[in-house]
Amino acid sequence: MIGLSRPTLAILNEDHPKVKNIESKQETDELINFLVTILNIKVSSKEEELQLDKQMILIFDLIKTKFGSLTIPEIKEAFKMYVAKEFSEIKVFRMLDCISVGEVLNAYKDFRNESLRIYDSKKKKILEALPEVSEIQKNEIRERFLKSIFSELTEKSFSSNAWHLFSKLEEDGKLPMSLQEKKTLYFQQLRIYEIEEKADIRGKHGINAKAFLRDLNNQITGKGTVGSVVNKCRSITASNYLKNHIQDYEIFKTAIG
């Protein structure tokens, strides 16, 4: 939002689907597995495993019906804060039941709401003050955006924002890549992302990095793709095409179409 940088807690809430709207069993199973893993819950018999499975069904029903406005990244963040003892009013136990989940998520909501109170107030004022954008203004915004990409490509032959142009360029047949080429590029960038994220996690969390590294591994090895990595690949592909058309700005715009 113009004039207002978003706090991390706002990004976790605003940039992901709400739990109540998620239908993917893979995503919900991954969340439950994360909760079990971060609390290091172990089972020593088939009976205990069955009891845990029953408990997980109740827990997810509680999350979806009573905390459905939260997102999966928010729930993960809540339990990371819990094990890091950032909720001083809650004693940390290596257990997972509806009562403990309710306590953690309520504590997180209170913390988030208080943390974002000033941000939400400013955002509301900005939204109320924003005039309706005219077609002329939309064209001006797009022109500034294209000029920023042109400038980046001219300086370093790459623009991290070029992914915004990828879909149009691909639809117009300007990015002829086979499925195998796309997969190869994705896994190359995924490896780079993994190395960078691991270094960042270890630098930030030190000896407490284990749970965060598990979360990263689950994200990388899951069946879905990592959104930021997909966008990086799209920026690389679009940049590789567009950097051949930066003789001047008009040629660049013609190349986009």
pLDDT at 84 over 80: yes
Say if residue 1's pLDDT is above 60: no
Residues listed for the chain: 257
Cβ(190)–Cβ(230) below 8 Å: no
pLDDT value of residue 3: 47
Mean pLDDT for all residues in the chain: 88
| DSSP 8-state code for residue 160 | T
- According to the model, what pLDDT value does residue 193 have? 93
The domain spans of the chain are 8-120, 134-256
- pLDDT tens for each residue of 213-234: 888 888 888 777 888 899 999 9
Q: In angstroms, rounded to a whole number, what is the distance separating the alpha carbons of residues 142 and 145?
A: 5
**Residue of 85, 5, 72 lying closest to 33 (CA atoms):** 72
Residue 99 to residue 95: CA distance in whole angstroms = 10
**pTM listed for this prediction:** 0.52
Reported as type and span, the H/E element at residue 148 is helix 135-156
Half-sphere exposure of 242 (CA within 13 A, CB side): 36
CA dist., res. 242 & res. 153, Å (int) = 8
pLDDT, position 130: 65
Q: What is the pLDDT of residues 176-191, one digit of tens each?
A: 999 999 999 999 999 9
